[in-house]
Amino acid sequence: MEHCIEIKNLSKIYRRGKSKFAALSDVNLDIGTGMFGLLGPNGAGKSTAMSILATLAKPTTGDIKIYGYDLQKNRKEIRMLLGFLPQEFGVYPNLDAEEFLDYIGQLKGLKERKNRKKEIDYILELTNLSHLRDRRIKTFSGGMIRRLGIAQALLGSPKLLIVDEPTTGLDPEERIRFRNLLAEISSDVTIILSTHIVNDISSTCNSLAVLNLGKIVYHGHPADIIKNAVGKTFLLRTNEKELATLKENVSVISMIMQPDHIQARVVADDVNGLHAEPVDPNLEDAYIYFMEVQTGVKLHEDEALYQSKN
């Protein structure tokens, strides 16, 4: 595996008044090329990690190398080879898409006008924005803005693309289009993607880490975390009355309301005595099994149930 990012003993301590808070503690991670997914509930420390990798925040401790460059000593070199799409992506509402990219291109040091235009044309095509090049950004939908975010991050041909929670606020259709775009790009560029939504990474990432309370609690291939949940994922026939007590022992992934019963998809170590049929787990089942059953982290109900709808 070609190493793209090597992280050793990374921690980030924030001060909160007089007390200290570790948003990241002793993170160790080797990331290869391709698409890497950093998954974790809100507050896990994902954005903190992403902005450190993007050289926008400094770690409290730790050694980080990106393509062999030291993050503390070679910030300039690292900035030259990365593109970043932050969670809050500010744009210039009165510019049109092409003007915006031209402006960012100049900031990134693409000096020659003709080459810059050529690159912008290519990127507009890739991100499916060519037909919107003359439209003012303030008229864009959430999905268009995210695609423009990827477009600006791709200017200057980065080797590494860092993308923080890119599908937040997108509708389901836009989400799918955006995931497909990332998958397409990942054949040429290494992508580090952070998200709290499992389905953002399911089909495309060749490596996955789970972050919880500032610590890496899992790192491996998505297929391996799925193996963990084999024999632990079930379809349950139940009813509203039973469901409340059931939730104490199983984690509910999704529910389908039938006229006379509820069909619930659940993960659990043990479903003895219940009307349950085992099914093949997917990554979402596996993530919730790992977090809620094995690690004992209660995901926010919205966060868990929300996932299956997307």
Q: Which residues bind ligand ADP (CB under 6 A)?
A: 14, 16, 21, 23, 40, 42-48
CA dist., res. 306 & res. 310, Å (int): 7
Contact 214, 268 (CB under 8 A): no
Please say which residue, 25 or 130, places its beta carbon nearer to ligand ADP.
Answer: 25
Please say which residue, 16 or 73, places its beta carbon nearer to ligand ADP.
Answer: 16
Q: How far is the CB of 111 from ligand ADP (least distance, A)?
A: 35
Q: How far is the CB of 33 from ligand ADP (least distance, A)?
A: 24
The CA angle 165-180-105, to the nearest 5 degrees, is: 70
φ/ψ of residue 284, rounded to 5:
-65, -45
Please say which residue, 43 or 142, places its beta carbon nearer to ligand ADP.
Answer: 43
Count of beta carbons in the 10 Å neighbourhood of residue 273? 6
Q: How far is the CB of 11 from ligand ADP (least distance, A)?
A: 12
Please say which residue, 45 or 62, places its beta carbon nearer to ligand ADP.
Answer: 45
3-state DSSP call for residue 177? helix
- Helix (H) or strand (E) holding 120, with range, is helix 113-126
3-state DSSP call for residue 209? strand
Please say which residue, 58 or 138, places its beta carbon nearer to ligand ADP.
Answer: 58
Q: How far is the CB of 75 from ligand ADP (least distance, A)?
A: 20
Q: How far is the CB of 114 from ligand ADP (least distance, A)?
A: 40
